[in-house]
Amino acid sequence: MTRVRPADVRFYVDADLAGLGKLLVRLRPDVTYPGDPGGVVHARQRPPCPVATPATLDDVWIPLVAAQGWLIITRDRHIQSRPAELAAVREHGAKMVNLTSDAAGSTWEQLRVALSINGQLLNARRASQGRLSTGPRWLECR
């Protein structure tokens, strides 16, 4: 019998990438998305996401996710122009990867972009011993 251990969630996939989030949680135990009920992947138990619903406003969920030290993966091209959301990113030191490319419209293309930056994400994690360093970070993938 395989012993199930707690998962170390490290990535939060925003509601605007729901298809990608639902795909990734079936493959990786370190990913969650809004409304994720939790689950077991590779003998790791992922808890339910603290962001209970995809309808949660950005300026509400960003502080919750940033407090966990999770990297946010989003496709919100307007987040930088919305004062409340931008303030939440800055104030709480959120780390974000923003898939702004028109080519990232389908779940397949989103997965392709996420895989193409996977090495950069892992290197950033290793450099900061598992959690990204403090202060806001922003990476746009076009």
Q: How far apart are CA 34 and CA 140, in angstroms?
A: 21
Segment holding 116, helix H or strand E: helix 107-116
Per-residue pLDDT tens over the stretch 60-72: 999 999 999 998 9
Residue 42 in tokens: 């590779």
Q: How far apart are CA 39 and CA 47, in angstroms?
A: 7
Residue 19 in tokens: 């298809």
Residue 119 in tokens: 């090495």
With a cut of 80, say whether residue 91 has pLDDT above it: yes
Residue that is written with structure tokens 């996420």 in the block: 114
With a cut of 90, say whether residue 42 has pLDDT above it: yes
pTM for the whole structure: 0.81
Per-residue pLDDT tens over the stretch 106-126: 777 777 777 676 666 655 555
Segment holding 84, helix H or strand E: helix 83-92
With a cut of 50, say whether residue 99 has pLDDT above it: yes
